[in-house]
C-alpha cells in the first residue's frame, strides 16, 4: 500500500555531536521518520519497520519511529543525509524546503539506505 505523506524536518543537535556519521548510533537516530500511532495504523506500519520514501527528487529507506506529536498526514525527520536526499535542487539550502517535503511512502523489507550510497 502506497500513501502520500508530508515530511517536516527538525534539527536534532545530539545527532550533530556524533563524531562518526557512519556509526550505528548516528544511523539509528538520523535514518528515521517519526509517525504518530494513528498514522502508523492507517499506513500499516509498526515502530522499527522500514519504510520507503520517494519523490521526484530522490528515494530513501528509513526506520519508523513512534512520535509523540499528532501527525495528521505529517511525518517528522531529523535533518540528515536521509531527509536531504528528498529535497528538490530548487529548495536545497533554503529553510522552507525542509518544512514540507512531499513524498510517496510504503512499507518495505529493504534495508535502511546505506549512507555511502547517499554520498555518491
| CATH number, domain with residue 12 | 2.40.40.20
In a domain, 32, yes or no: yes
**Domains contained in the chain, number:** 1
In a domain, 27, yes or no: yes
Burial (CB count within 10 angstroms: exposed 0-12, middle 13-18, buried 19+), residue 119? exposed
8-state DSSP, 95: G
Residue 117 has pLDDT above 80, yes or no: yes
In a domain, 60, yes or no: yes
| Average pLDDT, integer, range 23-37 | 91
Query: For position 90, what pLDDT does the model report?
Result: 65
| Average pLDDT, integer, range 98-118 | 89
| Average pLDDT, integer, range 72-88 | 89
What is the domain range of residue 105? 2-110
| Average pLDDT, integer, range 82-103 | 72
Calculate the average pLDDT of the chain: 86
Between CA 35 and CA 24 the distance in angstroms is 22
User: Which segment of 21-30, 87-96, 97-106, 110-119 scores lowest on mean pLDDT?
Assistant: 87-96
Residue 72 has pLDDT above 90, yes or no: no
Question: Max alpha carbon distance in the chain (Å)?
Answer: 38
In a domain, 118, yes or no: no
In a domain, 47, yes or no: yes
Asked if residues 92 and 44 have their Cβ atoms less than 8 Å apart, the reply is: no
In a domain, 72, yes or no: yes
Residue 1 has pLDDT above 80, yes or no: no
Query: For position 19, what pLDDT does the model report?
Result: 67
Between CA 116 and CA 45 the distance in angstroms is 26
Amino acid at each position: 500500500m502506497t500513501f502520500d505523506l508530508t515530511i517536516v524536518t527538525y534539527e536534532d543537535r545530539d545527532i550533530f555531536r556524533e563524531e562518526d556519521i557512519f556509526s550505528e548510533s548516528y544511523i539509528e537516530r538520523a535514518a528515521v521518520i517519526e509517525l504518530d500511532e494513528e498514522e502508523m495504523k492507517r499506513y500499516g506500519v509498526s515502530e522499527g519497520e522500514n519504510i520507503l520514501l520517494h519523490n521526484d527528487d530522490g528515494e530513501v529507506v528509513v526506520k519508523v519511529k513512534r512520535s509523540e506529536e499528532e501527525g495528521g498526514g505529517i511525518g517528522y525527520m531529523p535533518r540528515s543525509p536521509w531527509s536531504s536526499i528528498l529535497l528538490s535542487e530548487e529548495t536545497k539550502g533554503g529553510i522552507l524546503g525542509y518544512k514540507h517535503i512531499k513524498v510517496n511512502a510504503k512499507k518495505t523489507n529493504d534495508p535502511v539506505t546505506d549512507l555511502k550510497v547517499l554520498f555518491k
